[in-house]
Structure 1
């Protein structure tokens, strides 16, 4: 976690962030590690991954960043004005 004004995924600042439980609360992460995410990145994480996927593997900022779809998204979102609301497109969930 950082100062609360920088997104831990896209690193845009200053920006309002929300707390993202890296392990979803329903999977035992209520008291676990968290990350400060801007609303755009937070929506994208939950559009790309199920809570089960987040709990099983994508439970660190590094693993989230390394996923090819998230990497592509982060490359794009870093260029966006942090003061403008970003409407993310619904991610295509791949069948695993």
Structure 2
């Protein structure tokens, strides 16, 4: 994709985001809760930037959901197997978290620790 096409796609995505905000707050595609303006949120690169995903698409997530992803998975796992929201939602390491967070208020936030299975690899 040329830089010109990338800029056009980015501009189009920005314009669609503005239209979506006019109709209400965006919805986190991971936990299906709305993301109100006062909630902590961030953009998640579906393919990690370190693995070539700089221009391959992002999704707005609650910061809590985004942190949960990076606490459970390595960049390699995300690039290889989990570069779609549906794959993240279906992964057994995310299921318990998603069941827990779905009952929380939309602006809920809590600190996230690295999953034990992931920290064991670092030691």
TM (norm. structure 1) is 0.85
Matched, 1:12 2:12: no
2:48 corresponds in structure 1 to: 24
1:81 corresponds in structure 2 to: 105
Q: Residue by residue, what CA displacement relative to the aligned partner does 1:23-65 show, whole Å, maximum 9, x if unpaired? A: 0001110000211110000000000000011001110000000
Q: How far, CA to CA, are the matches of 2:64 and 2:84 in structure 1?
A: 18
- 1:53 is aligned, of 68, 77, 81, to 77
Q: CA deviation at 1:5?
A: 2.6
Q: Give ranges in structure 2 of 5+ residues lacking alignment.
A: 1-12
Q: CA deviation at 1:89?
A: 4.0
Q: Give ranges in structure 1 of 5+ residues lacking alignment.
A: none
Cα gap change, 1:34 to 1:14, in 2 (>3 Å)? closer
Aligned length: 95
TM (norm. structure 2) is 0.68
- Of Structure 1 and Structure 2, which has the larger fraction of its residues in helix? 2
C-alpha root-mean-square deviation of aligned residues, in Å?
2.0
